[in-house]
């Protein structure tokens, strides 16, 4: 585990280069706009296969980024995902995407062991693959062109530092997909930061297919340890039962709550002071940028040398939640 965590640490210079690249590309369109103007009649298709359903508040924003990039780049895009967190079904979707022969494939990689052979088959078929959201620790080993997202361990570590600074000494990390490497790394980073500050963390699994049972699990964990004064959830769908549990226990504000990722309910809770912060990985960019990169590769043979590890982590707090609520209403945050 230590070796895997060490491998996820960002080389600061690489991150700065990636940030500079993305900033330059987003500032006015530049090369992308020029290439698009030259390519009115092209035929480019890109298939996105993610482990997250577009009905989920987080992944709906990813899909919005994918769709907007398809419109802006004037290319055909398809967003696909299994009906639930199902790695067998996701591998089958990747295999079907390879058989369709698109110009590019975008994948999230929550489980490299389950998805690796399907991703490798795409690359061996001559289809460039870009990963987004999860997979920063395995992308290069799989031969992926570039990864767009945040590094999960560092994001969790930053959340742990903030929790500890807020006075949390005993925390829960609520994991809705144990075995999802990205989520496991979030909890590990959080735990390491809290431990370094002299705090303790217990990771508890929940099944978000049953929100009531998830709430009961969180309630039982809090009641079973009277010293719990902080909870970190790993996504908005995990934050909902945690909010419900703390409301039932009349512990909102007494037990600090924070989460990864944004949703309208999360932002409202932050603005109201019921949540401490949300760790924002700007998933709209995770959907948008891979489509731009694939298009530039297909029509202009552009590639970049480094992963784009700059979409997160950012932190939404009570000071910024109001403005982000306005943007979330437009479906871009």
DSSP 140-198: HHHT-SEEEE--HHHHHHHHHHHHHHTT--EEEEEESSTT-HHHHHHHHHHHHHHHHTT
Q: Which of 130-144, 194-208, 316-330 is predicted with the least confidence, judged by mean pLDDT?
A: 316-330
Q: What does the pLDDT look like over 287-313, one tens digit per residue?
A: 999 999 999 999 999 888 788 877 778
Asked if residues 163 and 323 have their Cβ atoms less than 8 Å apart, the reply is no
**Sheet order of strands, 277-280 included:** 200-205, 170-175, 230-233, 256-260, 277-280, 314-316
Q: Which residue in the block uniquely carries the two structure tokens 């006075």?
A: 167
pLDDT surpasses 70 at 17 = no
Distance CA 197, CA 225 (A): 20
Looking at the DSSP assignment, which residues form a beta bridge with residue 133? Answer: 149
Q: What does the pLDDT look like over 257-280, one tens digit per residue?
A: 999 988 888 999 999 999 999 999
User: Dihedrals φ, ψ of 223, to 5°?
Assistant: -70, -30
CATH topology of domain 2-150+282-302: Rossmann fold (3.40.50)
**The token pair that represents 72 in the structure block:** 């802006």
pLDDT surpasses 90 at 184 = yes
- Mean pLDDT across the chain: 86
Q: How many CB atoms lie within 10 A of CB 160?
A: 30
Q: What is the pLDDT of residue 103?
A: 96
Looking at the DSSP assignment, which residues form a beta bridge with residue 248? Answer: none
Cis check for the bond before 136: say yes or no (omega within 30 of 0): no
Q: Locate the domains of the chain by residue range.
A: 2-150+282-302, 153-280
- Which of 20-34 are b and which e, b meaning 16 or more Cβ less than 10 Å from the residue's Cβ? ebbeebeeeeeebee
Distance CA 162, CA 103 (A): 42
- Homologous superfamily assigned to 153-280: Response regulator (3.40.50.2300)
Q: Which of 164-168, 187-191, 230-234, 328-332 is predicted with the least confidence, judged by mean pLDDT?
A: 328-332
Q: What does DSSP assign to residue 252?
A: B
Distance CA 35, CA 130 (A): 20
Asked if residues 311 and 58 have their Cβ atoms less than 8 Å apart, the reply is no
Distances (CA, A) of 180 to 55, 76, 112, 329: 19, 30, 9, 29
Cα angle for residues 186, 324, 108 (degrees, 5° grid) = 40
Distance CA 255, CA 162 (A): 14
Q: How many CB atoms lie within 10 A of CB 108?
A: 24
Q: What does the pLDDT look like over 192-243, one tens digit per residue?
A: 999 999 999 999 999 888 999 999 999 999 999 999 999 999 988 899 999 9
Q: What does the pLDDT look like over 53-77, one tens digit per residue?
A: 878 878 889 999 999 999 999 999 9
2-150+282-302 and 153-280, same CATH topology? yes
Could you tell me where the DSSP H helices lie in 225-301?
A: 236-248, 264-272, 283-300
């Amino acid at each position: 585990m230590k070796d895997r965590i060490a491998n996820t640490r960002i080389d600061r210079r690489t991150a700065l280069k990636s940030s500079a690249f993305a900033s330059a590309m987003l500032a006015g369109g530049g090369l992308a706009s020029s290439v698009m103007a030259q390519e009115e009649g092209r035929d480019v298709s890109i298939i996105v296969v993610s482990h997250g359903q577009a009905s989920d508040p987080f992944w709906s924003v990813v899909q919005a980024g994918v769709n907007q990039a398809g419109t802006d780049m004037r290319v055909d895009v398809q967003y696909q995902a299994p009906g639930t967190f199902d790695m067998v079904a996701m591998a089958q979707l990747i295999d079907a995407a390879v058989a369709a022969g698109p110009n590019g494939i975008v994948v999230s990689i929550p489980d490299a062991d389950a998805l690796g052979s399907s991703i490798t088959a795409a690359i061996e078929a001559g289809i460039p693959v870009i990963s987004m959201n999860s997979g920063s620790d395995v992308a290069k080993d799989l031969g992926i062109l570039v990864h767009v997202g945040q590094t999960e361990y560092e994001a969790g570590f930053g959340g742990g530092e903030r929790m500890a600074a807020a006075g949390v000494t005993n925390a829960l990390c609520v994991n809705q997909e144990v075995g999802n490497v990205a989520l496991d790394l979030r909890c590990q980073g959080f735990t390491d930061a809290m431990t370094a500050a002299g705090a303790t963390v217990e990771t508890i699994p929940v099944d978000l297919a049953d929100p009531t049972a998830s709430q009961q699990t969180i309630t039982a964990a809090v009641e079973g340890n009277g010293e719990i004064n902080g909870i970190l959830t790993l996504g908005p769908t995990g934050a909902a039962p945690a909010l419900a549990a703390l409301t039932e226990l009349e512990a909102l504000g007494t037990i600090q709550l924070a989460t990864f990722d944004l949703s309208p309910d999360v932002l409202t809770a932050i603005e109201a002071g019921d949540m401490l912060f949300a760790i924002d990985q700007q998933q709209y960019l995770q959907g948008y940028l891979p489509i731009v990169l694939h298009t530039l590769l297909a029509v202009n043979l552009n590639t970049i040398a480094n992963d784009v590890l700059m979409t997160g982590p950012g932190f939404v707090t009570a000071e910024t939640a109001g403005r982000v609520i306005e943007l979330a209403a437009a479906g871009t945050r």
